[in-house]
Structure 1
Amino acid sequence: MQHATRNTQYAILLPLLLLGCQSAADLDTPPEILYGQDICDECSMIISESRYAASYVTTTGDVRRFDGIGDMLLYDSKHHEQVHVYWVHDFDSEAWLLADKATLVQSATLSTPMGWGLIAFADPAAAADYVAAQGGSTTTFADLQQLFASGAVDPTTLSGHFHESAAQHSDTLNHTND
């Protein structure tokens, strides 16, 4: 009987120890998204396109996955988790990049999941070229976080109000071309 109790204790403690041993390097690794299978934590839609997908990792190692940058910003503004790192995909290469290193483009004419009209670029020149060719404006992830956190974005009207909010808060955003 005592042997069974000890095994039960090990069975309970082992997963806790493994979770506690997660290194900072693991927290800094881009998450895996199973496209066509994983569900967006905000809208519950299947995540299907990597170029729009975003994710963040909390300080406790929890991974949140999103079908778009706007859904990540909305979820983050509602849940106030302690986030270790935010990830977005480069629109051109579809490679993961740190959100705070990306140049974001927002455009009311850009068709993205859930209609936020947000994409990210690793290269600021590529973002500027996209805006010059397709319209929109560039901004930073930090500026968008501030806009979402301020409550200026009404998620019930999605992109239409988002783009109106962005225009009204142009002091927050670095508009390059509307």
Structure 2
Amino acid sequence: MRTLKYFLIMALPLFLISCNVSPKAINYGNDGCHFCKMTIVDKVHAAEIVTKKGKVYMFDASECMVHFMDEFDANEVELYLSNDYNEPEALIDATKATFLISKNIPSPMGAFLSAFKTKAEAEKVQAEKGGTLYTWDELLAHLKH
């Protein structure tokens, strides 16, 4: 009984650490995109998927994340994250973000797609750069047509 108790005390912290479901910092210039295999260098357009088991998939652009979803069981996903256009390297919840497709804002894979934390921030950039705004669901429908 004592051995079992000791095992549980020692194993529980390792189990909790190994199942950490959270974003992972992208090592720009070194980490590769899980979809297109390019090195992630753009700090404005990168994205991540975090599974319910804590596995992290990194992408050089939100459009790569969306296209990767075709090969992946969405029921396993805990988080969809995109870089915030206004705060490079900061990851935001892609399902709550507002996306702008503007030919005046290049993105790594040529979709001209940028994510914004709020609709107001997206509308401000849209007023300067042009383009079309999308919610997450609208973006998925647009990119998968």
Same fold at TM > 0.5: yes
- How many Å separate the matches in 2 of 1:43 and 1:118? 16
- Find the aligned partners of 1:91 and 1:125 in 2 and give their Cα distance: 13
TM-score, normalising length: structure 1: 0.67
**Which segments of 5 or more consecutive residues in structure 1 lack a partner in the other structure?**
1-13, 153-178
Q: 47, 50, 53: which one pairs with 2:40?
A: 47
Shift of 1:147: 3.8
Query: 1 or 2 for the larger relative contact order (CA 8 Å, sep ≥6)?
Result: 2
Instruction: Tell me what 1:93 maps to.
Output: 87
User: Structure 2 CA distance, aligned partners of 1:51 and 1:134?
Assistant: 16
Q: Are 1:141 and 2:136 matched, yes or no?
A: yes
Residue 8 of structure 2 corresponds to none
Match of 1:165 in 2: none
Mapped to 1, the partners of 2:50 and 2:110 lie a distance apart of 24
Match of 1:108 in 2: 103
Distance 2:108 2:121 in 1: 21
Structure 1 outlier segments of 4+, above 6 Å? none
Which amino acid in structure 1 is aligned with residue 54 of structure 2?
G
- Is structure 2 residue 17 aligned with structure 1 residue 30? no
Q: How many residues align?
A: 133
TM-score in terms of structure 2 length: 0.81
Q: CA deviation at 1:122?
A: 1.1
8 Å CA contact retained: 2:99, 2:139: no
Task: State, as a whole percentage, how many aligned pairs show the same letter.
Answer: 32
More helix by share: 1
- For each residue in 1:3-53, what CA deviation from the matched residue of structure 2 results, as whole angstroms up to 9, or x when unmatched? xxxxxxxxxxx7xx94x53587x31x3221110000000111000122110
Structure number, greater radius of gyration:
1
Q: Which residue of the other structure, out of 77, 80, 96, is the alignment partner of 1:83?
A: 77
